[in-house]
Chain A
Amino acid sequence: MNIEFIIDGKLIRAHKGQSILKAALLNGIDIPHLCYHEKLSATGACRLCIVKVNGMYKASCTEPVAEGIDVVTYDEELSMMRKELLEMLLAEGDHNCLYCHSNGNCELQNYCYQYNVEPPAKDLPKNIREVDLTSSQGIKRDENKCILCGRCVKACAEIQVNFVWDFAGRGSHAHLTSDMYEKIGDSSCIQCGTCVQLCPTGALSFQTVLGRGMNWELKKESSICIYCGVGCKIDFYTNKEGKLVKAMGNDEGPNKGHLCVKGRFGFDFVQSNKRLTTPLIKKNGKFEKATWDEALDLVASKFGEIKEKSSPDALMAFASAKCTNEENYLMQKFMRSVIGTNNIDHCARL
């Protein structure tokens, strides 16, 4: 903390090389920003983070802090400029929040609301861009909601490190491409969903999310991915009916917000109709539904019988690398202290 300077009349300390925006955010001062994201390197594309530094206009996400500078983040002029920028962003695209999965969870929508931006005039010429809702199993793209902030480009390059997205064209023809102009489903995208998670608008979205529940009705709780040993922490969203809607990487886990395609999309099985719902007992080669009492009594008496007639070592248990510590513990305790054998293993080796 070797640099001191002023933001909106308040003395702030920051590290050399930090951007003004970062220093401000760390000190609880919010400067509007769209292309900047704390997990990505700064782009300086949207200009929404504009501030006055000693009276001069600067993009605060790329401008480094300096000793003694005087920063103003909000005044009449800055507010007007931001409003105009937002009007342009809205007018360039085709934003119908009613039909957008990001409704209620969109950074652009938030700022437009905050800055009182009117809907754009209807007769403005529109630049119709790529709408690709089907080529990829996991990811949808409606570029008419894209504000060309470049977060997706950086998310793929810096977090997933697959370099799928890039910009092509100039000026009003600028647009995104996935690899060489291919549809996203034909590109080298491996559907980790990181670009979608960091997109500030509804331009990128997941298949199977739209229609599952309004953003403001969703409940969020975090747990750990069931698949590999990285142990990614995931925020799971459920709707009013208790159905799973989507999975987002949690920043506090070992994954720091990132997920792979399994963690992102591999949760449907939990609520699939293939789930077993009652105990089953096989009679004459066929499974029949049973009550818990029937099933557990049968298991306990059979185990007891074999233990008595043969020996405890005639019983074996396979625990599971997909169950919790508590469950594995209890299974070995059961075999060792109730059955009386050390015949317990799991498929760590497989």
Chain B
Amino acid sequence: MTNSIREIPLSESFLIIGSNTTENHPVIGSMIKNEVINKGKKLVVVDPRKIELARYADIFLQIKAGTNIAILNGFAHVLIKEDLYDKEFVQNRCEGFEEMAKALEKYTPEFVANICGIDDPFKIVEAARLFAASKPMALYYCMGITQFKSGTNGVKSCANLQMLLGNIGILGGGVNPLRGQNNVQGACDMGALPNVYTGYQSVSIDDNREKFIKMWGSEFELSKNPGLTVVESLNGVLTGDVKAIYIMGENPVISDPDQSHVIEALKQLDFLVVQDIVMTETAALADVVLPACAFLEKEGTVTNTERRVQLMKKIVTPPGEVKEDWRIIMEIANIMGANWDYKSAEDIFEEIRQLTPSYGGITYKRLEKELIQWPCPRENHPGTQILHKDRFSRGLGLFSVVEFTPPAEDIDPQYPMVLTTGRILQHFHTGTMTRNSKILDEICHEAFIEIHPNDASNYNISNGEEISISTRRGSVRVKAKITDRVKPGIIFMPFHFAEAAANKLTHDAMDPYCSIPELKICACKIEKVNAIGGLSE
């Protein structure tokens, strides 16, 4: 997030796009509800589903899945056409306005409404006017923006809109991605990415490599070629290029797109090591399984969605012979000839600080009593609540020309419905933790799909009936929940349930810039189970 959670009370309006906030980031969802319902702040919600926040919205735009960019461009078009944008900000802080304005010309409300499947184009105009009249507006987005082939562009159009409105670098504004897992932010910051070291320092820049070689005392040159992403590496297994995978705390069999492809790849490996807390669907395929500490059994830091670094404490003793993940990695490294001697997580953090300018001023001692958000370069630096305050990292903010492109897989007569996936309130990711927690499992015990009443009656499906849902990649059986939260023609399915894994159905078309698979959308068909000879007679 460019801004901070504690600024929510300072926003005059909110744009929530591609984020089912009250289920996926419930505490932030409640804070926003408090502002809107109890304090009369304005709210615009853009989502293919009638999510809870849509009920309280001043304007709700129920768009076709995969058309975020069109609608964001539509808002920007209106702001420019009606002269409602922040000219001072655009003039002093940004560049590329002319080119973008030109590209936006065709995104008239009518054009956009047509792409997005919105009945009343004037709602787009009203929303744009609302943003201009109720500043600062805070924009929040989540996987509903990024999990598309066009994900990177979706993020750019969010930035375009907020720069046009001058909502960057000020209290209560910002472009605020909500991170899905407790330490996604930290894992990225730490360089668990194929192209960068910690703090996003590129592996292809000689100076960076020099610095890390020196600090690490590495015997050999560090590689300057960017590595593989998760999805690329699985493809690499099938072509024979990748022979061994070491997985720490992930369950790609359930979480990654196109399940049968993932299983095929993992089975073909010469050697698979999985380090986890329980026997997962992925660990079952491993050659060696290493038992690791759960979060309450170890110390360390995590970085939340607002870049705030926080300390985790050891609360309980681990069972059996379980070890901390860092200790296991260190022991393997040392057998292979390294000479690491970390006594605690704090020792490792001290090394991170020295190599990572944005974490340079953060210490365990400070974290005990201070709220610190990176960048925090020095020990006497308070950390950074708002990014891009006086200047952007590159100097001027760059407006990007972003065109709407349709999703990779379109519907056709054979697969006439759209499938979109996501999370629900009570469960998390692949269910490894929540489905092993008694009360959460009791509240929501089984998989389901959401289907609109019209579609249900077309297919003669009743509420709670088990149906079959298939895509070009696979099919699963699951209970139907009839609700007008989804639009006609769309089916929503949570991905937490191994026995009806949504990712048997999804595909791995990727964003060309950052390889995010297009989990949010693909074509599918539904059938009554007895019609395909499943349960009848």
Contact = CB atoms under 8 A, between A and B. Distances in A.
Contacts of B534: none
A347 B192 CA distance: 10
Interface in A295-319: 295-300, 302-304, 306, 310, 312-319
A138 B288 contact: no
A321 interface: yes
Contact of B319 (A277, A279, A324, A345): A277
Q: Which of A312, A340, A350 has the most CB of B within 10 A?
A: A350
Given A260-B27, A310-B243, A342-B227, A229 B233 contact: no
Interface residues of B, number: 146
Given A138-B439, A236-B296, A277-B321, A230 B186 contact: no
Interface size band for A: 35 or more
A298 B387 CA distance: 46
A244 to B, nearest CB: 6
B471 interface: no
Interface stretch (A80-88, A153-161, A173-181): A153-161
A240 interface: no
Q: Which of A191, A226, A287, A321 has the most CB of B within 10 A?
A: A321
Nearest to B4: A254
B37 interface: yes
Contacts of A222: 313
B227 A299 contact: no
Interface string B160-197: 00000000000000000011111111111111111101
Contacts of A229: 25, 178-182, 184-185, 304-305
A336 interface: yes
A25 B438 CA distance: 39
Contacts, number: 454
B181 A280 contact: no
B200 interface: no
Contacts of A340: 220, 222-223
Given A254-B304, A331-B248, A344 B24 contact: no
B289 A349 contact: no
Nearest to A265: B439
B215 to A, nearest CB: 9
Interface string A265-287: 11111111011111111100001
Given A275-B277, A313-B227, A319-B248, A159 B437 contact: no
A282 B436 contact: no
B216 to A, nearest CB: 5
Interface in B396-439: 425-429, 432-434, 436-439
Nearest to B223: A342
Interface stretch (B68-76, B92-100, B509-517): B509-517
Contacts of B276: 276
Nearest to B248: A320
B432 A261 contact: no
Given A269-B436, A320-B250, A282 B287 contact: yes
Contacts of B5: 230, 254
A236 B315 contact: yes
Nearest to A304: B336
A105 interface: no
Interface stretch (B57-65, B345-353, B453-461, B525-533): B345-353
B28 interface: yes
Nearest to B255: A350
Given A261-B26, A281-B287, A320-B187, A350 B298 contact: no
Interface string B231-245: 001001000011111
Interface stretch (B43-51, B79-87, B326-334): B326-334
A320 B250 CA distance: 6
Interface string B496-533: 00000000000000000011110100000000000000
Nearest to A137: B442
A344 B192 contact: yes
Q: Which of A265, A281, A296, A348 has the most CB of B within 10 A?
A: A348
Contacts of B26: 190, 192, 228, 230, 260-262
A318 B437 contact: no
Contacts of A302: 244, 270-271, 287
Query: Can you list the 5 inter-chain pairs with the closest CB atoms, starting with the nearest?
Result: A277-B320, A231-B304, A324-B300, A229-B179, A342-B227
19 contacts: A137-B443, A161-B38, A254-B5, A263-B27, A266-B437, A268-B438, A296-B328, A303-B271, A303-B332, A313-B225, A314-B242, A315-B242, A318-B247, A324-B302, A326-B349, A328-B192, A330-B342, A332-B197, A342-B203
